[in-house]
Amino acid sequence: MKYLLFGILGVIFWMHAITGFSQKLASAPLPISANTKLSSIVTTVKTSLLEQGKKGKLGIATNQSKLYLNVSKKKSSIVFEVPRASTLLSSGLQTSVGSKSSVSWDFDVKKEGQYKLYIATASDSAENFIVYSGYIYFPELNKWKIIASFRINGSTENITSANTFNSYPTTATLDDLFIDSWGQRDSGPWLKIKSNALQNPILTPLSDIDSTEQSQLDTYLIQKAIESKQTDAIQFKDGLYFTLMKTSSKLELVHMTDTATIFYKGYVIGTDIVFDQTSKETRTFPLSRLIRGWQIGLDNTHIGDKIKLVIPSGLGYGIRTRSPKIPPNSILVFEIETVDTKPKK
């Protein structure tokens, strides 16, 4: 009964979502089983099959979101919509915010013959909210662009149903246009929805088309935070900012190839919302498996030091939807105390 209700709600959302299409709309459900809940979905759309000089929309819609190409005679764009969104968490560079639930980005759809459309989610059951993010992938550049990330309060419902759709006049069928669709569960494994590919999609780490401009923006924002006394991490090292909160008398150094036992606290700059921390017990990590900012920041510090790191998004989680409390392109602050290390064998 629960899954039937999800299906009905998905259909209702889909019928609402397609209102406003003036051209004839073709749509087809993707075969997602009723008991499967996906944290993300990706599909490949072949724009090389579109005849020039016409207009229409084509993309993917889920029970909570819609990501599509809006193609006209003079310009084209990609649009990400989350109708039930409570908050726009972040948007990509040079995007246009239509409302709190819609963001678009203008680009020349004819530059490449196909694109990947990717919708990712991250939910927080304790605080009862979910984040939806939309991306586009440029195969020839091997780069991704984030369009936007939205938060829906009062729901943790991820992807339970999805449709591909097209209103662009063409003789190509939906099966011709959408050639490679995969879904990912919370636990990580990819599920083939509709694909002839033998290999699972490889999406992470997402290579950002705007990485240079985003790095410049992050530097500007960190400098403003320093000037306004929002942070005391004013020393600079290989792309990040830091300050020593406690200096150890021990001589042993930390190396980025070590496995480190630590206390830590992490939050987004400019907020007091802690997204992760240790309490009374330490945690142990191989530094080689952690974000680049940790490796740079802890390398050549002393065991027993406590350091505050201000990490630009490019040395953190970048444009990934890594956590419901870490929006894409977040500048992160970590306070880390190294208790012990073990060298790599």
Q: What is the pLDDT along the chain (345 residues), one digit of tens a residue?
A: 444 344 444 444 444 444 444 568 899 999 887 778 899 999 999 999 998 888 999 999 999 999 999 998 888 999 999 999 999 999 999 999 998 899 999 999 988 999 999 999 999 999 999 999 999 999 999 999 999 999 999 999 999 999 999 999 999 999 999 998 999 987 677 888 887 776 777 765 679 999 999 999 999 999 999 999 999 999 999 999 999 999 999 999 999 999 999 999 999 999 888 999 998 899 999 999 999 999 999 999 999 999 999 999 999 999 999 899 999 999 999 999 999 999 987
- Cα–Cα distance, 147 to 271 (Å, whole number): 23
Residue with tokens 């004013």: 234
Residue with tokens 């950002």: 208
- Cα–Cα distance, 135 to 67 (Å, whole number): 8
N-to-C CA span, the chain: 54
Domains of the chain, first to last:
2-194 (2.60.120), 211-342 (3.10.50.40)
Radius of gyration of the chain (CA): 22
Q: Cα dihedral sign for 250, 256, 259, 261?
A: positive
- Cα–Cα distance, 174 to 167 (Å, whole number): 10
Residue type, 261: T
Which residues, including other chains, have CB under 8 Å from residue 79's CB and lie 6 or more apart? 57, 59, 66, 67, 68, 69, 70, 98, 102, 103, 104, 147
Using DSSP's 3-state secondary structure scheme, residue 326 falls into: strand
- Cα–Cα distance, 295 to 257 (Å, whole number): 8
Residue type, 120: A
Torsion of CA 238, 242, 248, 250, to 10 degrees: -10
8: exposed, middle or buried (C-beta count within 10 Å: 0-12, 13-18, 19+)? exposed
Q: Cα dihedral sign for 315, 320, 323, 324?
A: positive
Q: Could you tell me how far CA 252 lies from the centroid of its own chain?
A: 38
- Cα–Cα distance, 315 to 205 (Å, whole number): 12
